[in-house]
Amino acid sequence: MQNRSPSGGGESLLFLTDDQLRKGIEAMFFAYRGFTADPDRILAKHGYGRAHHRAIHFVNRQPGTTVNNLLDILGVTKQSLNRVLRRLVEDKLVDSRVGPHDKRERHLYLTERGRVLEHELSEAQRRRMRAAYRAAGPDAVQGFRKVLEQIMDPQMRVFLNTMSDRS
């Protein structure tokens, strides 16, 4: 039984060559560059980088998340996250509140300014994703999602599914 690509190219999807895998890897690099280009321009105007964007994104997705939870999500060091959060708090984009049950915990929320910036960044990425999804079609979108999930570490797949359940 030969598994052929939906495009009719006849390439087996079960036995990919190194050349096919290399092309996929390169496509991921260039897609990521395109995906981050618009937000990078917006962030640069404010003197921020991608680490700030990721923090803003996930604080928006989980208002009240703790610093420790954000550390787990982002997979960065405490020192680098503290540098990013300190700047976001100083610039009044993120509000850091003492935990209601544990005074050592810090719960993070976007301020109105933070929500405005997050919306601008996300809208730029949604426009690009929407156009790509429309051009590729629903079967490709489902396949793309499956491929991305299989590339992820298993614990991130679980996290992504719990985030999707909240939407």
**pTM, two decimal places:** 0.83
- Provide the CATH number for the domain around residue 36: 1.10.10.10
Residue 24 lies in a domain: no
Q: What is the pLDDT of residues 10-45, one digit of tens each?
A: 455 667 889 999 999 999 999 999 999 999 999 999
Residue 20 lies in a domain: no
Mean pLDDT of 55-82: 95
Residue 11 lies in a domain: no
Residue 45 lies in a domain: yes
Q: For the chain, what is the domain count?
A: 1
Residue 158 lies in a domain: no
Q: Is the pLDDT of residue 121 over 60?
A: yes
Residue 44 lies in a domain: yes
83, 148 Cβ separation under 8 angstroms: no
Mean pLDDT of 107-115: 98
Residues found in the chain? 167
Mean pLDDT of 139-157: 91
- Token pair belonging to 105: 């915990």
Q: What is the domain extent for residue 57?
A: 29-132
Crossing angle between the packed helical segments 112-136 and 18-46, to the nearest 10 degrees:
150
